[in-house]
A and B are shown apart, each in its own frame.
Chain A
Amino acid sequence: MNALLLDRSGFFEAFIKSAQYIVRLQTRQDIWDHLGKLIVTYFPVSWTAFVQRDAKTGISIHHCTTADEIITQTILAEEVRTVISDVLDSGFLASHIISTPKPSMTVFLPIEEQGQQTIILIGHKSCDPISKELLNIYLAIAGIAASTAERLKNEVELKNHRAHLEELVKERTAELAKAKRQNELILHSVGEGICGLDLDGNITFVNPSAARIFGWEPDDLIGRSAHAALHHKRPDGSSYPVEQCPIHSAMSSVKTAHCKNTESVMNEEFVRKDGALFPVDCTITSIVEEEKVLGAVMVFRDITERKHAEEALKKAHVELEQHADRLGAANKELEDFGYSVSHDLRSPLRAIAGFTQMILDENEKAFNPETRRKFGIIQENAQKMGRLIDDLLRLSRLGRTGLSRSKLDMGNLVCEALDEIRMAEPDREFVAEIGDLPAVHADIAMIRQLLVNLLSNAVKFTRNKEGARIEVDSFERLGERIYYVKDNGAGFDMKYYNKLFGVFQRLVSDSQFEGTGVGLAIVDRIVQRHGGRVWAEGKIGEGATFYFTLPPKEQG
């Protein structure tokens, strides 16, 4: 029968065509359908069935050329299932006679697919053994089925892959569009003018700020030479040669051309649409790709206002310098004056005092007591004038000499000052109480002077007091250390407080308490020089307290 089958003219050709058709089918279901029909049509076969392993039921029938329930029941019967399982496991073709109910030779043809195995059950019309040629044809059919299924699967994967790619491209396109929008937004919002230039120096892009600064519409500028449009003349009105243009040089150089508007060299100014020039702070950067200059980006800013501010600042600076010069000259004059005073004012006093003394010495017996008293007054006044000059010089030196700060033991300095005062007036009796005096960071010479002045004042004004007492102490208030010198002496009237620290200002007469009226002015100046404050409290007949602060560093 098989030989007959193959011999039939035209029959083979038809089979091949049918098989070629199957190869082009697009769904698995179609493949199984046509394959089953092909086998039934061209071979002595009464039915075909496609079975697969099923996780739930073990074996399931996917496609059957017959609706005969007996056949499907037979396939699912235990006996046949065992054969199907064996073929599925081994992958080898098998043939058995099964009853449906008529006994028939049935071929179990495995189709190898990746990840899935299908068996075609081919139920023959008789129980005749299957010829070798037919088995080979069946194997070829299995091969066709397998490769077609494989192709189908690949096609599906390819389709999925393509869809995925398309999705990706869509996402990236959206991202790019967003980035582009963002870039555009930045370019449009930024205050600096930004122009894109091509290799010939023609404008390819203008952001709104650039257009606004230049007074042109962006479209009017695009395509024009940047130099010709914006940079063609100098501040003096003469034309600016294109060879000297920094925009141009950026084109030929890979380097960045900076045309910072400094008055010394470049003094770059751009031209507005109306022809007016304005100073710019401009950076031109070449756009380089793979060592090739493609064009340039010009970023610039109108610095007219900054220029004005700079000029105003410069003017103010010059004025300040002139002022400082005048001040310096005045200071120098003052210094020279102090120096002269120091030398010249004291000599005549010495002569007055000295020659008076010589007269007295040489004519001891010639003068009566009254004349001698008057000579004494001359001498006293000469000496007083000397002290006055010394104090004034001290005051003037305070303003001239620099402050040299070091850590000072205040307690020690107070003791030294008191010793000095006691030495000058060994007969004076007073009690000095020295409290807690933390160290200060100050100029030692000045602080010595300050303490001597305050303490000698206290000693002087307690002269007529029984139980004279001087207290030196300190306390802290609002984080500030306050030192004070307190006495129970003559005191002063707060009504005249504003005169207390003035130069040559005295609240008592010389006949009561001698003095030059400079001592407290010196105290005031010393504390000021240290950036501190000095103030006082007093009451007539009850005493005075002088407070001062010495901040570690000058404030303000």
Chain B
Amino acid sequence: MKEGKVEILLIEDNPADVELTLHALQKRNLANNVKVLTDGQEALDYLSNVCSISDASECPYLIMLDLKLPKVNGLEVLQAIRSNEHTKMIPVVVLTSSEEEKDRVESYKLGVNSYIVKPVEFDSFANVVSEIGFYWVLLNKPPY
């Protein structure tokens, strides 16, 4: 594992949720290689910088994506990621408060890898987040 490499890109605008997420990831020692971005446009700019065809090594192993984001919302970010040749293979997990069917169905239509509703209860939330991190970063083999 390369030191300083961004393994998880967390796109989340709520600072409390960011802190809780990082806290949960800490349990699996995954919090150090997380990059947090708080709006959709910023995230897309970042990805277009780090991901290129010649060198995919800087691409994150996982994107944790909230749906409610300023400027460019989560679904739009997901669509942009999937329609960009350099980023379309990055695993994306939507991590949201929304149980709305239209959000869920639309996410899958756009090619999300997983759709998780954040539990209110902290233990459950912490478990879910750390499991996701563990699964996608440590267990799963990325495409590049």
Q: Which residues of A contact B (CB under 8 A)?
A: 338-339, 342-344, 346-351, 353-358, 379, 382-383, 385-386, 390, 393, 397, 401
A343 and B118 in contact (CB under 8 A), knowing A350-B17, A354-B16, A355-B16?
no
Contact call B96/A343, Cβ cutoff below 8 A:
yes
Q: Which residues of B contact A (CB under 8 A)?
A: 14, 16-17, 20, 23, 67-68, 96-101, 118-123, 125-126
Contact pick for A350, options B68, B98, B101, B118, CB 8 Å: B118
Contact call B20/A350, Cβ cutoff below 8 A:
yes
B17: chain A residues at CB < 8 Å are: 347, 350-351
Contact call B23/A342, Cβ cutoff below 8 A:
no
How many angstroms from the CA of A390 to the CA of B98 in the assembled complex? 10
Min CB–CB distance A204 → chain B (angstroms): 72
Could you jot down 8 A-B contacts, CB within 8 Å? Answer: A342-B100, A343-B98, A348-B16, A350-B20, A354-B23, A355-B20, A379-B122, A390-B99
Min CB–CB distance A345 → chain B (angstroms): 8
Contact call B101/A401, Cβ cutoff below 8 A:
yes
Q: Which of A344, A357, A382, A390 has the most CB of B within 10 A?
A: A357
B126: chain A residues at CB < 8 Å are: 354, 357
Contact call A342/B97, Cβ cutoff below 8 A:
yes
A390: chain B residues at CB < 8 Å are: 99
Chain B residue, CB-CB nearest to A387 = B120
Min CB–CB distance B47 → chain A (angstroms): 23
How many angstroms from the CA of A397 to the CA of B125 in the assembled complex? 24
Min CB–CB distance A354 → chain B (angstroms): 4
Other A-B pairs beyond A354-B23, A397-B100, 19, CB < 8 Å: A338-B100, A339-B98, A342-B97, A342-B98, A342-B99, A343-B68, A344-B68, A347-B14, A347-B17, A350-B118, A351-B20, A353-B120, A354-B122, A355-B16, A355-B20, A358-B20, A379-B122, A383-B120, A386-B121
B16: chain A residues at CB < 8 Å are: 347-348, 350-351, 354-355
Contact call A350/B125, Cβ cutoff below 8 A:
yes
How many angstroms from the CA of A379 to the CA of B119 in the assembled complex? 13
B99: chain A residues at CB < 8 Å are: 342, 390, 393
Q: Which are the 10 A-B pairs with shortest beta-carbon distances?
A: A386-B120, A351-B16, A357-B122, A354-B122, A346-B97, A354-B20, A343-B68, A353-B122, A349-B120, A342-B98
Min CB–CB distance A308 → chain B (angstroms): 46
Q: Which of B67, B96, B120, B121 has the most CB of A within 10 A?
A: B120
Min CB–CB distance A25 → chain B (angstroms): 117
A339: chain B residues at CB < 8 Å are: 98, 100
Contact call B96/A350, Cβ cutoff below 8 A:
no
How many angstroms from the CA of A358 to the CA of B96 in the assembled complex? 21
Contact call B97/A347, Cβ cutoff below 8 A:
yes
Contact call B122/A343, Cβ cutoff below 8 A:
no
How many angstroms from the CA of A386 to the CA of B125 in the assembled complex? 13
Contact call A383/B121, Cβ cutoff below 8 A:
yes
How many angstroms from the CA of A441 to the CA of B123 in the assembled complex? 40
How many angstroms from the CA of A347 to the CA of B100 in the assembled complex? 15
Q: Which of B98, B101, B121, B126 has the most CB of A within 10 A?
A: B121
Min CB–CB distance A498 → chain B (angstroms): 31
A353 and B68 in contact (CB under 8 A), knowing A342-B97, A346-B97, A390-B99?
no
How many angstroms from the CA of A353 to the CA of B68 in the assembled complex? 21
Chain B residue, CB-CB nearest to A340 = B68
B121: chain A residues at CB < 8 Å are: 353, 379, 383, 386
How many angstroms from the CA of A354 to the CA of B120 in the assembled complex? 8
B125: chain A residues at CB < 8 Å are: 350, 354
B14: chain A residues at CB < 8 Å are: 347, 351
Min CB–CB distance A454 → chain B (angstroms): 22
How many angstroms from the CA of A401 to the CA of B118 in the assembled complex? 23
How many angstroms from the CA of A532 to the CA of B67 in the assembled complex? 37
Min CB–CB distance A338 → chain B (angstroms): 8
How many angstroms from the CA of A397 to the CA of B102 in the assembled complex? 11
Chain A residue, CB-CB nearest to B99 = A342
How many angstroms from the CA of A354 to the CA of B100 in the assembled complex? 23
Min CB–CB distance B123 → chain A (angstroms): 7
Contact pick for B123, options A343, A355, A357, A397, CB 8 Å: A357
How many angstroms from the CA of A393 to the CA of B123 in the assembled complex? 23
How many angstroms from the CA of A393 to the CA of B100 in the assembled complex? 9
How many angstroms from the CA of A355 to the CA of B20 in the assembled complex? 8
Min CB–CB distance A269 → chain B (angstroms): 54
Chain B residue, CB-CB nearest to A401 = B101
